[in-house]
Structure 1
């Protein structure tokens, strides 16, 4: 008997597997665990999103019933100079913050991946600003960068430099806020990179050292490729974080001076709760959501085509 005939008889004789049918009790047990989380997600995410979408087609002020205005709110965006200003400010924050947080986070993580005395304390120093209250950080930095009484201008005076406007200057305020935002957030990048570096095989690093590889060669050819997936994750995380930049503006500049620090999220908050144009604010929020989704999807597709994602 040939092997093919034997294999055919074996397959014929083997009983067919029936589809796995779980008992109703198993479904009840599963939903008893997943049910509360599902309800929370629906209640605090999907339902408000659907309500905001419907709100974006009205002229509601959140206090009186609004009337349906169709796409008027979305058309008004193209004629809104503050919206374009908020886009520029948010774009500047993204362009400055993400590369700085990735580069500095990786370099600091490499430095902290050493066995030296007190290394736990040094690691905690970079994490504390991230876990600290944004309100307290904003109030502290507002004092440090104050034009008249701030510590930064006091240092400039002692060094013989001219007094700077800082948070009071339309040309400097957004850069100062970006610096503050970087200081409060890049500790997260340090922690993630440090965890990824510690997962690199020690044998690989030892082999590179035996082969005479310099520190720069080890960093560029071993560490950087090994943490590539974490870089993509942190890039997406940083993009979402930057596009939601809000709390530090409230505690420092409140969008000023002259709308120079108004971001998209802060503008949405102003429209809904200061100007009472909630329908228009919802339209701006959905434009932000659509833009964020497109940027994330495009970034992931580019990373996958380049082989950065597996």
Structure 2
């Protein structure tokens, strides 16, 4: 009796790709992505790093900069103009963000209906968002002009008292917020409209068959499905409100009596009007830190509650 041992079966090994082909593909990819990467680095990362070094100096942009360490950052807590600008920015954010979210959701629900000319209505809502903010501000300056503006003309026809609008310290920031809503609500409307079309119809039909009305379906089915979108829109609109500049520049220039001077516009005045580039860069970095912390907190809170919006 003889014993025979079978040779172990050879496992098929995947064929290795030639190393030169992988290198060529990598070089081809970087050939396409490299120029765009250089532009991003040159226009964002390099100026950000350079601004940090400027924030540690006393410089007017012409003479030799003087290194003063962290003195500019120490002055931030004792600057009354910065405190006032921060209050204006906070008020604008508190009014703008919830308003844009609520209006965007209502408009999206209306645009989600099957009605005639729905494409035309959707286009009309989105046009102000893609229009130039500078053009929007110039147009709003004519509309809310106290003497010959269309807003006061409408109030006269209704028998109501005319208003000062952008020339009133009490009304100017509210009017700016209204103009910003008109220009930005198209973004939240489009985002919510896309999210509404992704809500599972089975859930809506099941809730309707159980006897739920439209309001109950909206509150118990639709809105919970829109939570990730709401988180994304809230973060995006908060950043938009904190960085609002061009609209203020073309309407009020921070006035009247600095009532619409936000932190971004205060940075512009420091850097390009009073030539205090070092202190202006320090204020800009403070705004960047606040924006980063708010965004990180919103993302952390959303992931903790299971709302993966980013």
TM-score w.r.t. length of structure 2: 0.91
RMSD of equivalent CA atoms: 2.1
Distance in 2 between residues matched to 1:109 and 1:48, nearest whole Å? 38
**Secondary structure in structure 2 of the residue aligned to 1:78:** helix
Q: Which residue of 2 aligns with 1:26?
A: 25
C-alpha displacement of 1:210? 2.4
Quote how far apart the aligned CAs of 1:36 are: 1.5
| Whole-Å separation in 2 of the counterparts to 1:50 and 1:305 | 32
Aligned partner of residue 23 in structure 1, secondary structure: helix
Moved more, 16-25 or 117-126: 16-25
State the Cα deviation string for residues 249-288 of structure 1 (Å, max 9, x = none): 1111000011100111111111111111111110110000
- Structure-1 separation of matches of 2:161 and 2:69: 53
1:236 paired residue number: 235
Q: Is the 8 A contact 1:98 1:238 kept in 2?
A: yes
SS at match of 1:160: coil
Contact 1:108 1:190 in 2 (8 A): yes
Matches within 5 A, 1:159-238: 159-238=158-237
Do the aligned partners of residues 225 and 168 (structure 1) sit closer, same or farther apart at CA in structure 2, a change above 3 Å counting?
Answer: same
Matched, 1:290 2:292: no
- Select between 251-260 and 212-221 the one with higher mean Cα deviation: 212-221
- 1:161 Cα offset (Å): 2.7
Distance apart, 1:18 and its partner CA: 11
Cα distance in 2, alignment partners of residues 29 and 292 from structure 1: 37
Shift of 1:133: 1.5
Deviates more, 1:205-214 or 1:288-297: 205-214
Normalising by structure 1, what TM-score? 0.91
Partner of 1:7: none
Distance 1:90 1:301 in 2: 24
Following superposition, the deviation at residue 65 of structure 1 comes to 2.0
Larger deviation, residues 220-229 vs 87-96: 220-229
Deviation at 1:57, TM superposition (A): 0.5
How far the C-alpha of 1:149 sits from its partner, in A, is 2.2
Q: CA deviation at 1:71?
A: 1.1
Whether the 8 Å contact between 1:82 and 1:259 is mirrored in structure 2 is: no
Counterparts of 1:83-122 in structure 2 under 5 Å? 83-122=82-121
- Summarize the Cα distance change of 1:207–1:96 in structure 2 as closer, same or farther, 3 Å threshold: same
Q: d(CA) in 1 for partners of 2:16 and 2:296?
A: 36
Q: Can you give the 5+ residue segments of structure 2 that lack an aligned partner in the other structure?
A: 1-7
Deviations 1:115-152 (A, max 9, x none): 11111111111111111111221111111112222222
Name the structure 1 match of 2:5.
none
Q: Which runs of 4+ in 1 moved over 6 A?
A: 13-22
Following TM superposition, by how much is the alpha carbon of 1:16 offset from its aligned partner in structure 2, in angstroms? 9.0
> Residue 81 of structure 1 corresponds to which residue in structure 2?
80
- Paired with 1:295 and 1:167, the residues of 2 have a C-alpha distance of 30
Query: In the TM superposition, what is the alpha-carbon distance from 1:68 to its structure 2 partner?
Result: 0.6
Deviation at 1:301, TM superposition (A): 1.3
Q: Which residue of 1 aligns with 2:266?
A: 267
For residues 131-146 of structure 1, the aligned pairs below 5 Å read: 131-146=130-145
CA distance in 2, matches of 1:198, 1:158: 41
Segments of 5+ residues of structure 1 without an aligned counterpart are 1-9
CA contact (8 A) 1:109 1:193 kept: yes
* Structure 2: distance between partners of 1:16 and 1:72: 64
The aligned length equals 300
Residue 16 to residue 82, structure 1, CA distance change in 2 (3 Å): farther
In 2, distance between residues paired with 1:161 and 1:177?
A: 21
What SS does the corresponding residue of 2:78 show, helix, strand or coil? coil
Counterpart in the other structure of 2:247:
248
Alpha-carbon spacing, 1:210–1:266, altered in 2? closer, same or farther (3 Å): same
Secondary structure of 1:272's counterpart equals helix
- Cα distance, 1:17 vs. partner? 8.7
Q: CA deviation at 1:78?
A: 1.6
